[in-house]
Amino acid sequence: MAALNYKHLRYFWMVARCGSIAKAAGELHLTPQSISGQLTEFADTLGVELFRRVGRRLELTETGNRVLRHAEDIFSAGDALLEVVKDQTAPQVTIFRVGVSDSVSKAVACQLVAPALALAEPTRLICREGRLAALLADLAVHKLDLIIADRVMPSHLSVRGYNHLLGESELAVFAAPALVRQLKGEFPECLSGMPLLLPGEDFAVHARLMQWLHKHVARVHVIGEFDDSAMLKAFGQSGAGLFFAPAAIADAICAQYGVALVGAIPSLREQVYAITTERHISHPASQAIRQAALQTLSV
């Protein structure tokens, strides 16, 4: 494989940021023809299409977006290197990269990760969100230091990693005030016939929640499933339906979304794991996350 041409990469990065070859050429003090030729050579070397033309603008392809994310990391690291060389007295900053599975509550993730920024050693946090499989791929090539997920890593993936249980919380049901006034009877019978918003199939608790509903609720009326926990709560806030979230953060959910706690389900518990390449957690930021879990979640 040919070596990466960093000059071509910078030209690509500038065009992606500016949205056109002409604007990038102005920034780089080069002719548009020169930039265009270098981009073509770069794409040919990689063997992929990086841009597609939409009107007068260039739009990144899916592959182009992936290349851009790597370019951002590369040039960000280069800028940091220049700053270190320029100022020898500047404190060394530790970069800590965390991946958060989109099936994990954003409020839980925030409470767990925040202490990593309060360490005595200056720390720069880089937080990525996405599907667990994609995050594990990044962990495998050391683009992430730790992943926060609601399940252990799948056994069929050839990724060297270790699961660390941070804690767990029973599941609870929340509703906007207008829906609370419509509830009849005791919990959980009051859920019968009410519109329900469920975490999607990507959530580890999804299947168990469906079983519990069909066992304890006479008429299950699911109107929506969501793969993103924040979107689930936003729809719940609007009054579209009752929704499910960890009881450990009930106070925060009620305060942020203006909803009420309807009831808790002790038999349904949602786990939170840290997945790392370390058998034993030793990174100071990872240790801070584990300590935060002791206060946020109960094991």
Contact 270, 107 (CB under 8 A): no
Prediction pTM value? 0.66
Mean pLDDT of all residues belonging to the chain? 89
- Written as one letter, the residue type at 284 is P
What pLDDT score was predicted for residue 174?
98
pLDDT at 262: 97
pLDDT at residue 299, as a whole number: 44
User: Does position 87 have pLDDT exceeding 90, yes or no?
Assistant: no
pLDDT in tens, 121-168: 888 899 999 989 899 989 988 889 999 999 998 877 777 889 999 999
pLDDT for 91 = 62
pLDDT at 90 over 60: no
β-strands 57-60, 51-54 pairing = antiparallel
**Structure confidence by residue, pLDDT tens digits, 182-234:** 999 999 999 999 999 999 998 999 999 999 999 999 999 999 999 888 899 99
In this structure, what token pair is assigned to residue 184? 């009849």
The amino acid occupying position 228 is D
User: How far, in Å, CA of 26 to CA of 18, rounded?
Assistant: 10
The pLDDT, as a whole number, for residue 121 is 83
Share of the chain above pLDDT 90, in %: 44
Q: Given a cut of 70, is residue 297 above it in pLDDT?
A: yes
Rg of the chain over all Cα atoms, to the nearest angstrom: 24
pLDDT (tens digit per residue) in 21-54: 888 888 888 898 988 898 999 988 888 999 988 8
